[in-house]
Amino acid sequence: MSIAEGVRTLRYVEALREGLRQCLEEDDNVFVLGEDVGDYGGVFRATKGLIGEFGERRIIDTPLSEASVVGLATGAAAVGLRPVVDLMFMDFIGICMDQLANQMAKMRYMFGGKVTLPVTVLAFAGAGGGMGAQHSQSLEAWLCHVPGLKVVMPSGPAEAKGLLVASIRDDNPVIYIAHKRLLGRTAEVAEEAFALELGRACVKRVGKDLTIVAMGRMVEEALKAADTLEQAHGIGVEVIDPRTLQPLDTTTIVESVAKTHRCLVAHEAVRFGGIGAEIAAQIQEVAFDELDAPIHRVGAPFTPIPFNSGLERLHVPNKGDIVAEAERLLGLSPLQPDGSTSAGGLNGR
């Protein structure tokens, strides 16, 4: 059911697919290519049914060669088309990194702006499905380091649609990172085609004591952690969803930190060398005097992602990890198994 005209409840993957369909309808230069995107509808069902609506000339099944697919998309974009590549698993980025980093990302600069490269690459990331070390990674930090690429990471259904529409309309290469465990999440999404501005963060929850900057699926874990911290400790947590990691909306993040004076950054990717380190560096460069404590980070341990479900759960950060790290940052007594806590830290000063 909806709360307003033109707003429905959609699953994340349905919102993504609707945004893709609307872009195909509004611009004949938009086309989709990738392995199994046609009759099968994509490994993650992102293109389900589209070949029946738009035909084989615009929904193109390709051979099993990610480098060739991304190379084809790069050339097509340079001559005026707007390709959308379904790369399936984000882990396959490594197979086509030369095309992404040395060709697609560089061509507009190297040609003096005489060509545009409006390519959108869909990459499905994240652990939690028992898919093992080669099909579960979050590699956004690799891509954010490449000048010429934009990187987005939608955290919910509305973001899935709005960021995809913005990505396809953009004249630069955009890597669109969807999280596999979010595909079934539901939320209200506007029916019309709408674009969320790339490079603009969203304040998901307002608070006064601590800023949590969270990416992708970690946004929902951060929101759960914020509820726990408020109920257990009376802490007001502000949750920031950057939405776009490159370019990064440092202004919104710094404005929040200037209010709360404490910050924690949470992402699913390996903690060492993750995007959280860059965010922490930018905050301290711009707003060091606003900080009352060091910036803390939550991320995965420096190991491959286990296939075993129990070990995988231990590897992937969650609400409990965020709560525990926030308690350390704020000097709060940890929650006990019964949910009780003792006074101290921020509220016990």
Residues assigned a catalytic role: 66, 135
Strand pairing report for 120-125 and 59-61: unpaired
- Beta-sheet pairing, 150-152 with 263-270: unpaired
Reading across the β-sheet that carries 120-125, which strands appear in turn? 59-61, 30-34, 82-89, 120-125, 174-179, 150-152, 244-246
Side chain identity at residue 321, one-letter code: D
| 93, amino acid identity | I
Nearest to 299 by CA among 218, 178, 179: 218
Can you say whether residue 339 is alpha, beta or left, with left for phi > 0 and alpha for psi between -120 and 50 degrees? left
Strands (E), 35-139: 59-61, 82-89, 120-125
The DSSP annotation for 82-102 comes to EEEEEEEEGGGGGGGHIIIII
For helices 275-287 and 250-260, angle between their N-to-C axes, nearest 10 degrees: 60
Return the amino acid letter for 285: E
Length of the chain (residues): 349
d(CA 132, CA 116): 37
Q: Can you tell me the distance from the alpha carbon of 108 to that of 148, in angstroms, rounded to the nearest whole number?
A: 8
The set of residues, in sequence order, having a beta carbon less than 8 Å from that of 183 and lying 6+ positions away, is 11, 12, 13, 44, 45
Rounded Cα distance, 136 and 99, in Å: 22
